[in-house]
Amino acid sequence: MRHGESQANAGLTDELDSHLTEYGQQQAIATGKRFASSDISRIFVSPFRRTLETAAPICLSTGLKASLEPGICEYFSARHAEYLTFRGLTPSEISAAFPFIETNPGTACTDQWWPHAHEDPDAIYARAVRVRDALLNRFAGTDISILIVSHAETVGRLTEAFLRIPAANYPPWSDNCAVTLLRVEGDASSAAKLIYQNDTSHLSSLPAHATR
């Protein structure tokens, strides 16, 4: 799933690691309610503020902790020169601010987890493939549900990677707090089945709101 509406989405800031808006917080709470009675057993979250703040009500409603996974962080596009000097929150800063986060879940989230250079579409697709392989090698053959809280471009590339289709010019889109469900059956080399994509039905009770 994608994070809730951020201040950057709403045009309120140019900060790359912005917080959720009040509306984004409402979206996250509604998403937490959606997953309250689900069978999710693991949560992986990008180390950005907007994804961490989105995961908070989900962790509260499910009683689960979320594991930091730098491989599902934002797309460091060349459209943003600021990414070359980007400094994200370190794992220790994240654990201090977000007590529901596991900072040592078996994935390597170092003090400088973010990419050191701009990424092109091939680079983020390759990153998605590495995440796919790591998760499948770890969990294939088990009957568990995993929730990934990430970003629009990254969710799209993960979807392509799990479906084992080539990277497109424009990957599948995700609206704020939209959920895409993929099911992997068989061994770690099997292509996933797409059950649904970009579902926002759990947000229908919220007031109409323009996001991007």
Q: Considering the domain 22-203 in this protein, what is its CATH number? A: 3.40.50.1240
Beta bridge partners of 43: 66, 147
- DSSP 8-state assignment for residue 2: B
> Which pLDDT does position 155 carry in this prediction?
98
Contact 146, 160 (CB under 8 A): no
User: Domain boundaries in the chain?
Assistant: 22-203
E strands, 10-55, are 40-45
* CA 28/CA 151 separation, integer angstroms: 14
> Which pLDDT does position 105 carry in this prediction?
63
Q: Which of 151, 111, 101, 102 is nearest to 131 (CA)?
A: 151
> Which pLDDT does position 211 carry in this prediction?
53
**pLDDT by 10-residue block (mean), the chain, 212 residues:** 97 95 97 95 97 98 96 93 91 93 78 92 96 92 94 98 95 97 89 97 86 52
Contact 132, 161 (CB under 8 A): yes
> Which pLDDT does position 102 carry in this prediction?
87
* CA 25/CA 11 separation, integer angstroms: 16
Q: Which two tokens stand for residue 118?
A: 């701009």
Whole-prediction pTM: 0.95
Round the CA-based radius of gyration of the chain to a whole number and report it. Answer: 16
Sign of CA dihedral 69, 70, 71, 72: positive
